[in-house]
Amino acid sequence: MSLVRWDPWREMEALVDRYNRALGLMPAGGQEEMRKGDWSPRVDIAETGDAFIIKAEIPDVQKEDVKVTLENGVLTLQGERRQETEEKGKTFHRVERLYGVFNRSFSLPDSVSPEGIKASFKDGMLTVTLTKRKETQPKAIEVKIDN
Protein backbone atom coordinates (compact mmCIF):
# COMPACT_ATOMS: atom_id res chain seq x y z
CA MET A 1 0.00 0.00 0.00
CA SER A 2 1.45 3.35 -0.97
CA LEU A 3 1.01 6.47 1.10
CA VAL A 4 -0.47 9.52 -0.59
CA ARG A 5 0.04 12.98 0.81
CA TRP A 6 -3.28 14.59 1.72
CA ASP A 7 -4.07 17.72 -0.27
CA PRO A 8 -7.17 19.50 1.08
CA TRP A 9 -7.38 21.80 -1.96
CA ARG A 10 -7.51 18.86 -4.34
CA GLU A 11 -10.40 17.45 -2.33
CA MET A 12 -12.22 20.79 -2.54
CA GLU A 13 -11.65 20.94 -6.31
CA ALA A 14 -12.87 17.37 -6.69
CA LEU A 15 -16.00 18.20 -4.66
CA VAL A 16 -16.78 21.23 -6.82
CA ASP A 17 -16.13 19.21 -10.00
CA ARG A 18 -18.50 16.43 -8.87
CA TYR A 19 -21.14 19.04 -8.02
CA ASN A 20 -20.75 20.70 -11.43
CA ARG A 21 -20.92 17.34 -13.23
CA ALA A 22 -24.09 16.44 -11.30
CA LEU A 23 -25.67 19.67 -12.55
CA GLY A 24 -24.34 19.14 -16.06
CA LEU A 25 -22.06 22.18 -15.89
CA MET A 26 -18.57 22.47 -17.30
CA PRO A 27 -15.74 23.19 -14.86
CA ALA A 28 -14.18 26.64 -14.78
CA GLY A 29 -12.17 27.35 -17.91
CA GLY A 30 -14.33 25.04 -20.04
CA GLN A 31 -11.80 22.22 -20.05
CA GLU A 32 -12.01 19.17 -17.86
CA GLU A 33 -8.87 18.02 -16.14
CA MET A 34 -8.22 14.29 -16.21
CA ARG A 35 -6.60 12.73 -13.20
CA LYS A 36 -5.72 9.08 -12.88
CA GLY A 37 -8.07 7.33 -10.49
CA ASP A 38 -10.68 10.06 -10.82
CA TRP A 39 -13.62 7.79 -11.53
CA SER A 40 -15.84 5.42 -9.67
CA PRO A 41 -18.27 2.95 -11.23
CA ARG A 42 -21.98 3.45 -10.65
CA VAL A 43 -23.68 0.67 -8.70
CA ASP A 44 -27.18 -0.60 -8.03
CA ILE A 45 -27.79 -2.46 -4.78
CA ALA A 46 -30.91 -4.60 -4.48
CA GLU A 47 -32.20 -7.01 -1.85
CA THR A 48 -34.24 -10.15 -2.33
CA GLY A 49 -35.55 -12.52 0.33
CA ASP A 50 -32.33 -14.53 0.39
CA ALA A 51 -29.59 -12.27 -1.03
CA PHE A 52 -28.19 -8.81 -1.71
CA ILE A 53 -27.21 -8.06 -5.31
CA ILE A 54 -24.68 -5.41 -6.29
CA LYS A 55 -24.37 -4.49 -9.96
CA ALA A 56 -21.50 -2.24 -11.03
CA GLU A 57 -21.11 -0.67 -14.47
CA ILE A 58 -17.52 -1.06 -15.60
CA PRO A 59 -17.48 -0.86 -19.40
CA ASP A 60 -14.16 -1.30 -21.22
CA VAL A 61 -12.63 -2.98 -18.18
CA GLN A 62 -11.10 -6.40 -18.72
CA LYS A 63 -12.10 -9.28 -16.46
CA GLU A 64 -8.44 -9.71 -15.47
CA ASP A 65 -8.36 -6.09 -14.21
CA VAL A 66 -11.21 -6.61 -11.72
CA LYS A 67 -10.75 -7.79 -8.14
CA VAL A 68 -13.50 -8.45 -5.57
CA THR A 69 -12.45 -8.93 -1.94
CA LEU A 70 -14.14 -9.34 1.43
CA GLU A 71 -12.30 -8.36 4.60
CA ASN A 72 -13.70 -7.58 8.06
CA GLY A 73 -17.26 -7.23 6.76
CA VAL A 74 -16.29 -4.83 3.95
CA LEU A 75 -16.75 -5.80 0.31
CA THR A 76 -14.30 -4.03 -2.01
CA LEU A 77 -14.50 -3.76 -5.79
CA GLN A 78 -11.20 -2.76 -7.39
CA GLY A 79 -10.02 -2.49 -10.96
CA GLU A 80 -8.61 -0.34 -13.69
CA ARG A 81 -9.89 1.01 -16.98
CA ARG A 82 -6.97 1.62 -19.28
CA GLN A 83 -6.98 4.46 -21.79
CA GLU A 84 -6.54 3.62 -25.45
CA THR A 85 -3.06 4.22 -26.69
CA GLU A 86 -2.98 6.70 -29.52
CA GLU A 87 -3.23 4.95 -32.84
CA LYS A 88 -1.88 6.14 -36.17
CA GLY A 89 -4.54 7.79 -38.26
CA LYS A 90 -6.78 8.49 -35.25
CA THR A 91 -7.07 11.92 -33.65
CA PHE A 92 -9.11 12.38 -30.48
CA HIS A 93 -11.00 15.68 -30.43
CA ARG A 94 -12.62 15.13 -27.05
CA VAL A 95 -12.21 12.52 -24.33
CA GLU A 96 -14.94 12.59 -21.70
CA ARG A 97 -14.75 9.08 -20.29
CA LEU A 98 -12.66 8.68 -17.17
CA TYR A 99 -9.79 6.22 -16.91
CA GLY A 100 -7.55 4.82 -14.23
CA VAL A 101 -7.92 2.84 -11.06
CA PHE A 102 -11.26 2.58 -9.25
CA ASN A 103 -12.05 1.36 -5.75
CA ARG A 104 -15.53 1.01 -4.20
CA SER A 105 -16.13 -0.38 -0.70
CA PHE A 106 -19.37 -1.40 0.97
CA SER A 107 -19.98 -2.33 4.61
CA LEU A 108 -21.99 -5.52 4.70
CA PRO A 109 -24.69 -6.33 7.24
CA ASP A 110 -24.12 -9.23 9.64
CA SER A 111 -26.81 -11.19 7.80
CA VAL A 112 -24.48 -11.82 4.82
CA SER A 113 -22.84 -15.24 4.65
CA PRO A 114 -19.15 -14.85 3.68
CA GLU A 115 -19.21 -18.33 2.11
CA GLY A 116 -22.14 -17.42 -0.16
CA ILE A 117 -20.54 -14.62 -2.20
CA LYS A 118 -20.49 -15.04 -5.97
CA ALA A 119 -19.28 -12.63 -8.65
CA SER A 120 -19.85 -12.68 -12.40
CA PHE A 121 -18.72 -10.35 -15.16
CA LYS A 122 -20.44 -9.98 -18.53
CA ASP A 123 -20.77 -7.18 -21.08
CA GLY A 124 -19.21 -4.55 -18.82
CA MET A 125 -21.45 -5.38 -15.85
CA LEU A 126 -20.01 -6.82 -12.64
CA THR A 127 -22.67 -8.62 -10.58
CA VAL A 128 -21.90 -9.64 -7.00
CA THR A 129 -24.47 -11.80 -5.22
CA LEU A 130 -24.25 -11.91 -1.43
CA THR A 131 -26.31 -14.74 0.07
CA LYS A 132 -27.99 -14.13 3.42
CA ARG A 133 -27.53 -16.55 6.31
CA LYS A 134 -30.44 -18.90 6.76
CA GLU A 135 -31.01 -18.05 10.41
CA THR A 136 -31.25 -14.31 9.70
CA GLN A 137 -34.02 -14.56 7.12
CA PRO A 138 -37.34 -13.21 8.37
CA LYS A 139 -39.65 -15.71 9.97
CA ALA A 140 -43.31 -15.11 10.71
CA ILE A 141 -44.48 -16.09 14.17
CA GLU A 142 -48.15 -16.32 14.98
CA VAL A 143 -49.18 -14.37 18.05
CA LYS A 144 -52.01 -15.88 20.12
CA ILE A 145 -54.23 -13.57 22.10
CA ASP A 146 -55.81 -14.87 25.31
CA ASN A 147 -59.28 -13.62 26.23
- The sheet with strand 125-132 has its strands ordered as 43-47, 51-57, 125-132, 112-122
Angle ∠(116,136,69) on CA atoms, nearest 5: 30
Q: Which of 115, 130, 112 is CA-nearest to residue 52?
A: 130
Q: Per residue of the chain (147 residues), what is the pLDDT tens digit? A: 556 677 788 788 888 878 877 776 665 544 454 444 567 899 999 999 899 999 999 998 999 999 999 998 899 999 998 887 666 777 777 777 888 899 999 999 988 988 889 999 999 999 999 999 877 557 788 888 887
- Domain with residues 36-83+97-135, CATH architecture: Sandwich (2.60)
Distance CA 101, CA 38 (A): 8
Residues of the chain with CATH 2.60.40.790: 36-83+97-135
